[in-house]
A and B are shown apart, each in its own frame.
Chain A
């Protein structure tokens, strides 16, 4: 710690700041960037980088392997569809979301950083918007970058350009829906507890338990011969909602029992569910911070 002496040596006098002061939008962007970087452990200690970066590597691996196989074996299309890549890697994506969401909001609550944010020009709504945009973008990068690798690799392996481009575009669309919905759910759940561990567990629980339940009920329904109910049952878990949407609208193969796609009307219901859940969770998140003060 400094002593009086070296404080004097280093003291070159206070310089006031007369430069530019950017407004709330700058602050919002700064919070966005900071949170996005933080979700991959950037700007944090080495230990904080291990898990997100490790998961990211695992997430990329199948895309690379798939491209390599396509190139060497000479397939005419990639073994995994663009639209179902995120769902195929669901455990990894889920784990990443469960780590990233509490990283973004629980830590601020736990270490009481939020009062510092709210004592600055931004409003609470700006905080929520920046955090939501950051987590959505983080999840999007997480699920879409492997698609980019697969697409570039696929083109280099001279798979059909039109096919690949269409599939890639559809993959990006479902990635956006996936990211927006999962970010809203996970961020709201994580914001309910300042304890990171609880946050991680809660997000994993919310993403996986309904999914298992839905899958089991769908299997029973299929056995009972009512294929048309599968899509409706799918409404009850985030994963099956995304799955239903991609198979109903984006030409993907469904992960429902025997690849049975949802009926048209069920498809619309699934899309509506995605929108409603996203909006509802976002509003709840905003409500969560409305009262938070210093």
Chain B
């Protein structure tokens, strides 16, 4: 129902959006059009992500250009936009001596919910983000994962049409990160709320988002669906066992594949990486492995290609969480 009513309307639309500060240009003629769904906004630190959010919420004026959120003009209708949008900041924003319930109820009231509705919505929302008995304890004692959940809950408590999540996985361990990404996915699929999620990590956004927007230096680098990002040049990682006949299974498979016209490269961890040119590749790999009599340990698609977008950015090599495999494949 919710999804059908907003399906034709752009959630966020900017046109030549420019923001100049005395010393830096944070946004430089940015024109984007974001549809309902989960959209990943990718950019290195200082790419202009936070500035964009500020302008969208009507909290900072743009130097040039216009921005519309849910059909409303950011510059003039900030208050109306903020009533229908939830925002989860990147930094800590929770007072330590207040319980999650108390805090989220207050934030719901600040979004205009009457007292009883605020209480009900808080209980619901905290449960949806996975916070149970802990919600009555002061937040000072919470783990990072729990704090992130409360931050997400306060952004969702007034049932917005759109949430802006600024680096929601920051500081989380791998498990917490996965849980948070799953939660973000559910915000759209189960709750029907559109999501704009920022990150400097492409890997995690491509798993969560329908659409990816990459900005760098305040300019649009790319904007396309995640599927087309991934499909463009998908790669396959293959790992096989060794056998008595073939002491180096990976090398044997490589030459076998080469014979059927597939060029594979050796990667650390006894893996082979190869490009998926068409669906026949999977069969050829399977047949080659069977013929050699090796065990197939794994064969999985590496959706690393989005990382190429960042090659020219400063983070490409330094990014500690970019998966090793993807970095290797690109070599």
Contacts and interface: CB of A to CB of B under 8 A. Distances in A.
A45 B124 CA distance: 24
| Highest count of chain A CB atoms <10 Å: which of B113, B121, B124 | B113
Interface stretch (A10-18, A226-234, A243-251): A10-18
A110 to B, nearest CB: 9
Nearest to A108: B95
B114 A17 contact: no
Contacts of A108: 95
Interface stretch (B26-34, B86-94, B232-240, B295-303): B86-94
Given A1-B130, A13-B190, A294-B59, A116 B117 contact: no
B80 to A, nearest CB: 8
Nearest to A107: B95
B158 A17 contact: yes
Interface string B141-165: 0010110000000100011000000
Contacts of A111: 92-96
A21 B110 contact: no
B187 to A, nearest CB: 9
B60 A112 contact: no
B110 A44 contact: no
B192 A16 contact: yes
A291 to B, nearest CB: 10
Interface in A85-125: 107-108, 111-113, 115-123
Interface residues of A, number: 43
A107 B140 CA distance: 13
A30 interface: yes
A79 interface: no
Q: 9 shortest A-B CB distances, which residue pairs?
A: A30-B109, A17-B159, A119-B87, A2-B130, A14-B191, A45-B97, A21-B112, A22-B112, A121-B83
Given A30-B110, A31-B110, A112-B89, 19 more contacts: A16-B2, A16-B159, A16-B192, A19-B117, A21-B111, A22-B113, A43-B98, A44-B98, A45-B98, A113-B93, A113-B95, A115-B87, A115-B89, A116-B110, A117-B110, A121-B79, A293-B60, A294-B54, A294-B89
